[in-house]
Structure 1
Amino acid sequence: MTYRAKVELLYLLGFSLDLVNMFIGTVAYPAVAADLHASVPQLAWIGNAYMLGLTLVIPLGSWLAARLGERWLLCLSLAMFALGAVLAGTAPSIEALIGWRLLQGLGGGLLIPVGQAMAYRQCPPAERGRLTARIMAVALLVPALSPTLGGWLVGLGSWRWVLLASVPLAALALLLAAVWVRAGRAPRALPPLDRRGLLLGSLGLSLLLVALSRIAEAQARAPGIALLLLAAAVLAVYARTAARTAQPVLQWTLLRHPALRLAMLVYLLVPGTFIGTQLVATLLLHRQGYTAAAIGGFMLPWAIASACAIATTRARLPRLGARPLLSAGMLCQAIGIALLIGVQAHQPGLPVLAFALMGLGGSLCSSSAQTLAFQGMSDDELLPGSALWNLNRQLSFCLAAALLACVLAVLSALTPDSAFTFTLLLAAGMSLLPLLLLWRLPASTLTLRTSA
């Protein structure tokens, strides 16, 4: 096996670990609540704490990689991840479980940007579309299969097995990282740590995630909005500080690459909007009389269409460039969301078509954006660029969902008959917003490089 193949396999294994831990636990929440006497907000923080850990540690990736080296950093991250999983799986209380999930997120947060930077560095630019196709296949399969695996494990024994399921994979990844990853050259001078930026950025992101989780709860919406405004103020101060810092904890200067700017916006407003739309659609379909099994079944055409989109991107992106694929993807998702407005009871054909269009459009955009993000970057820029990309990816999972949930709640109180219609129209419009930037960029920016 070539060194490039080993690095890619290690990254995909780490990516799978991250996705498993984000999607497998939901089915265990009723058992956790009964065993640990946990409230609904506490259950929500089982996932939120993991995501918070991921978000807080991602900005430190570049500095830690320079200080420790990529091999040691990966081994340390995997060891911390596995330890967090063991402690979470044996937690005696809900408070301890949430704390250990935070530790697990701190370990897992460095697996993705470091591993992704290594994988793209080893992959020639002309072949990065194929690497992206493999990444997107993992991103499609793992979230689809994880809840089923989690339900099976809960049925076999205890909810604790759900949290412990990732330990063998983490141990395998740790062994492979120690054996396979080459020791990198030590840097001539370590970059300074932007302590002020790290403090302000961590505080701002923490407040943002807490605010979004509060806004999603109707009874806590007012304090959530206050926290959101405070988070915006802290992040504004951080932005001003980062602009005056030579080496900020996150290298925002990389946004000078138009491809990265566009890719981050696309991921935030297309896959991110789908997460929020899925929540709205679930409530709407339930209101129309569809069972939970039927609503879950609509993800099957979504998954099939997503697989077709990934294959299409792999074959067509190098020849066509990103503009036509991204445009088609945004239009497909917007049309699919709009079709949900006409859903009727006992007429599953329309939601099947809507979810298929959303799967096709969302994956055309996400797979194209994943490849496009790293075009034009030098090898030294891949790790800090990956940190920016993955921080944006984490935030995309909750920003649009919180916005659409809040809009639906407000409209349901003001105009209950048209609340779903207006919310879905907003979601469709959000999916189309990146077109404004897409068609302003020159075609050369959106064409893959064919040589190193």
Structure 2
Amino acid sequence: MTEQAAAPPEKLDAAVFKIAGVVVLGAVMSILDITVVSVALPTFQIEFNATYAQVAWTLTGYTLALATVIPLSGWAADRFGTKRLYMMALVLFTAGSALCATATSIEQLVGYRVLQGLGGGMLMPLGMTIMTRAAGPKRIGRLMAVLGIPMLLGPIGGPILGGWLIEAASWHWIFLINVPIGAVALVYAYFALPRDNPSPSESFDFIGMLLLSPGLALFLFGVSSLPQEGTFSAPRVWIPMLVGAVMMISFVFYSFKPRHPLLDLRLFKNRRLTVSTVALFVFIIAFMGAGLLFPSYFLQIRGESTLHAGLLMAPQGLGAMITMPIAGTLADRVPVGRTVPFAMALIAIGFFTFTQVGVDTSYVLLCGSLFVMGLGMGGTMMPIMTSALRTLDHQDVARGSTLVNILQQIGGSIGTATMSVILTTQLNGSPDIPGLTNPKTGDPITEAGAAIAHQQGVNLPLPADLLARGLQFAADSFATTFTVGFVLVLATFIPIAFLPRKKESVTDGPSGYDVAETPVMTH
């Protein structure tokens, strides 16, 4: 080994950026697709003459497919190679997107969304594996900052793009736009990613797959049904959650027996990985759950259009763009335990404003708070993920990124469901309007419900004072829900306190070689 090989360049070179471009394209498609579709749900109700509960499965089906396939991605990457598997995921996702645009019924659309999710579920963990192996542990912070841009900007850009496409063209284009991007990404991946050198020695853990993938899907199905049912006591909620939890717990006990389990929980012996994943899990529950309610506030309380609500979220993305490159560089030089607490403090400061929102809270104040939160976001998520992955051995990178992605998926689903249930419960506490019922369901309409409908353009012949009272109640409901989210953000400081605060040496593999000196390939 030459001295030059032993000391790889500290800066990211052109070859690494070329590989990162492939991963960013895939991440942009996968993440944008979730948020773009979320703004199209009312359009789907009209186009397919469906209820909200039915069209919501366009999101839920995609999420369940993600959760089912993520555990397989670690083994499949080792067995077949990251390049060919990544290209297959791009094909599945792009084909699913094209089929979604041809759907003539809500059932067809949900089915095609599941196909999309099977591809999208592999794009992120495979992308993290490819980039980690490309840069090596000493440069992973800067490279993860590149991957973090679509992860943080997706929730901001999605509503803007979705609102514009629906208004300017039709709902079909929120899916068709993925086709040319997917085609470019596929060609790009073929030429940019190095040739695979897969290891066929590991046997597939069928028992683990039968326990984990269905168990995870069932558990998230129950969690996803919670906002619709409104209570944990509903059979549709607690039965799949219980069965799924039992299957996942069974997998935990079983996973220590086989030599090559589907999900290698032995990695949690690495203290830094354990602390970082716990911190990331709590953070995802806190921020992603409440974060999805920010656009809803602008839509339902302030009466903004989908496009305007997306634009009002833009300051958060701008803040993240400023701090993310800085945080990525610092993550390679300064222990994350010294930087992440300050970034989390910015998130908490910005988040506090939303616990006080009302009917006419200043947009300058709200957008300024979102900007401060964005500054904190850019310095939080990617450094934590960097801390989790950078000390793993070369052969553990794929399985480590799979662990991180599964915890993100579970945390995001739990956070979203929890915040949705709290908000729904608060809004349902509004007084009913005598003699006024929903023509579709026959349920009574509350003052808050009528006020929200009025803000979204439904012309209701109701007294102005009643609408004002209902709107104030709805605003207070949002404030209460944001308060719960703020408390969860504060709780994130507990695991963050255990992040490493001292510079640690990076072990780069079982043989002590530096991962950065080897090309990007599976072992």
Same fold (TM over 0.5): yes
Q: Kindly tell me: are residues 331 and 290 of structure 1, through their superposed partners in 2, closer, same or farther at Cα, counting changes over 3 Å?
A: farther
Task: From 108, 113, 116, give the equivalent of 1:101.
Answer: 113
SS at match of 1:228: helix
How far apart are 1:383 and its partner, in Å? Answer: 0.8
Partner of 2:341: 327
Task: From 378, 383, 390, give the equivalent of 1:368.
Answer: 383
CA–CA distance in structure 2, aligned partners of residues 53 and 152 of structure 1: 27
Q: Which structure's residues are more often helix, by fraction?
A: 1
Task: From 31, 43, 46, give the equivalent of 1:34.
Answer: 46
1:341 aligns with 2:355: yes
Q: TM-score, normalised by structure 2?
A: 0.78
Most deviating of 26-35 and 47-56: 26-35
How far apart are 1:314 and its partner, in Å? Answer: 2.9
Q: Kindly tell me: are residues 136 and 89 of structure 1, through their superposed partners in 2, closer, same or farther at Cα, counting changes over 3 Å?
A: same
CA–CA distance in structure 2, aligned partners of residues 415 and 324 of structure 1: 45
Partner of 1:427: 485
Write the letter of the residue equivalent to 1:19: I
1:254 aligns with 2:312: no
1:151-179 deviations in Å (ceiling 9; x for gaps): 33333443122212111111122222223
CA–CA distance in structure 2, aligned partners of residues 225 and 434 of structure 1: 27
How far apart are 1:364 and its partner, in Å? Answer: 1.8
Write the letter of the residue equivalent to 1:323: G
CA–CA distance in structure 2, aligned partners of residues 311 and 442 of structure 1: 21
Write the letter of the residue equivalent to 2:388: A
Query: What is the correspondence of 1:209-248 to structure 2 with a 5 Å cutoff?
Result: 209-219=220-230, 221=232, 222-223=234-235, 224-248=237-261
Q: TM-score, normalised by structure 1?
A: 0.89
Larger-Rg structure: 2
Most deviating of 318-327 and 137-146: 137-146
1:294-347 deviations in Å (ceiling 9; x for gaps): 754542332222222313313433343211321122222233333323234433
1:399 aligns with 2:411: no
Structure 2: unaligned runs, 5 residues or longer: 1-12, 432-472, 509-513, 516-523
How far apart are 1:429 and its partner, in Å? Answer: 2.7
Q: Kindly tell me: are residues 312 and 186 of structure 1, through their superposed partners in 2, closer, same or farther at Cα, counting changes over 3 Å?
A: closer
How far apart are 1:249 and its partner, in Å? Answer: 0.7
Write the letter of the residue equivalent to 1:328: F
Query: What is the correspondence of 1:192-211 to structure 2 with a 5 Å cutoff?
Result: 192-211=203-222
Partner of 2:177: 165
Write the letter of the residue equivalent to 1:202: S
CA–CA distance in structure 2, aligned partners of residues 3 and 281 of structure 1: 39
Structure 1: unaligned runs, 5 residues or longer: none
How far apart are 1:98 and its partner, in Å? Answer: 0.7
CA–CA distance in structure 1, aligned partners of residues 121 and 191 of structure 2: 21
1:341-399 deviations in Å (ceiling 9; x for gaps): 32344331443343233322233211211322212112111111111112222223221
CA–CA distance in structure 1, aligned partners of residues 261 and 43 of structure 2: 43
How far apart are 1:219 and its partner, in Å? Answer: 4.9
How far apart are 1:47 and its partner, in Å? Answer: 1.6
SS at match of 1:125: coil
Q: Indicate if the aligned counterparts of 1:273 and 1:401 stay in contact, CA closer than 8 A.
A: no
How far apart are 1:410 and its partner, in Å? Answer: 4.5
Partner of 1:177: 189
Write the letter of the residue equivalent to 1:427: G
How far apart are 1:449 and its partner, in Å? Answer: 8.3
Q: Kindly tell me: are residues 81 and 412 of structure 1, through their superposed partners in 2, closer, same or farther at Cα, counting changes over 3 Å?
A: closer
1:311 aligns with 2:322: no
Q: Kindly tell me: are residues 229 and 445 of structure 1, through their superposed partners in 2, closer, same or farther at Cα, counting changes over 3 Å?
A: farther
Q: Kindly tell me: are residues 181 and 236 of structure 1, through their superposed partners in 2, closer, same or farther at Cα, counting changes over 3 Å?
A: same
Partner of 1:356: 371
Query: What is the correspondence of 1:9-48 to structure 2 with a 5 Å cutoff?
Result: 9-48=21-60
CA–CA distance in structure 1, aligned partners of residues 416 and 354 of structure 2: 17
Identity level (%): 26
SS at match of 2:201: coil
Give me the CA root mean square deviation: 3.0
Write the letter of the residue equivalent to 1:214: S
Q: Kindly tell me: are residues 144 and 236 of structure 1, through their superposed partners in 2, closer, same or farther at Cα, counting changes over 3 Å?
A: same
SS at match of 1:244: coil
SS at match of 1:303: helix
